[in-house]
Amino acid sequence: MQIYKATDYKDMSRKAANIISAQVIMKPNCVLGLATGSTPIGTYQQLIEWYKKGDLDFSDVTTVNLDEYKGLPRTNDQSYYYFMHQNLFDQVNINPENTHLPNGMEPNSEKECARYESLIHSLGGVDLQLLGLGHNGHIGFNEPGEAFEKETHCIDLQERTIEANKRFFASADDVPKQAYTMGIKTIMQAKKILVIVSGEDKADIVAKAFFGPVTPAVPASILQMHNDVTLVGDEAALSKIPR
C-alpha cells in the first residue's frame, strides 16, 4: 500500500485528482469506479478545472458508481445520480451513456444487483476505484457485519448511517432505509484502488482499517489484502497511523 500525506483537504484533493488524471491519460478508455459524499467533491472540482484547461479528456471514459439509494428517483437532489451529474458529469465531456449507477427505482433487488454486477463484468472490470471511508469503516454501503459481503447487493442501512444522512432530508422518515451497493468482492476486483480521507475525525478508523486486523467488523480492512491500494489523506486523518 502506498500512502501519500497531504497538508490539508485541498492538497489531498489535488493529489487524488493527479492519480485519477494519470489513469485517464495513460488509458483514455479506462473504467473509473466513482464515489459520492463530501470527501471526493474537491477531487472532482480539480478534475473539472484541469478538463476546462484542456489537460484532460473524458470522451472515452466509462464510469461505474459504488452505490445508490433504493427507492429514490434520479431527480431527487439527494440521489447519487443527481450528485454525480452536479459535481462531475455535467461539467466535463463524458458521454452520459458511459456513466453507470445502480437503478434505485428498480424494486426487484435480485434483478438489479445481477444487472449491475453483469454490467461491470461486461466492461472488463474497474481500472481505478475511488473510495471514501466511513467512520465505522464502511466502504460503499458495506457496513460492519459478520462476513464480507461478496458482490453487488441491496443492504439495510444501519441506524448510524441513516442518522448521518438525516440532515440532507426534510425529515427522518424521508431518509432511504436501503441502498444498492457494490460488494466487497466487486470492489476488490478493481485493478487499482484509491482511498481518500480527510479530517481528524477519521484518524481512528484509518489506523484501525489499514494497520489493524482484517475483519468484517471493519469492512475497509479487507483492502490490506489488495495488491494495488493508494491511500491519500491529510495530516489530521493520518495522524494516528504507526510511524
- Give the three-class secondary structure for 64: strand
Reply yes or no on whether 18 is catalytic.
no
Question: Amino acid identity, residue 144?
Answer: P
Catalytic residue among 138, 149, 153, 234: 138
Torsions phi, psi for 151 (to 5 deg): -120, -170
Reply yes or no on whether 68 is catalytic.
no
Q: How far is CA 131 from CA 64, 160, 167, in A?
A: 12, 19, 22
CA distance 152 to 186: 7
Reply yes or no on whether 138 is catalytic.
yes
Reply yes or no on whether 106 is catalytic.
no
Catalytic residue among 76, 98, 136, 165: 136
Catalytic residue among 143, 149, 153, 234: 143
Longest dimension (CA), the chain: 48
Q: How far, rounded to the nearest angstrom, does the alpha carbon of residue 94 sit from its chain's CA centroid?
A: 18
Q: How far is CA 113 from CA 124, 125, 160, 210, in A?
A: 17, 15, 24, 28
Catalytic residue among 65, 67, 112, 127: 67
Choose among 69, 81, 61: nearest CA to 126.
61
Residues forming beta bridges with residue 179, ordered by sequence position:
69, 155
Based on its alpha-carbon atoms, the radius of gyration of the chain, rounded to whole angstroms, reads 17
Catalytic residues: 67, 136, 138, 143
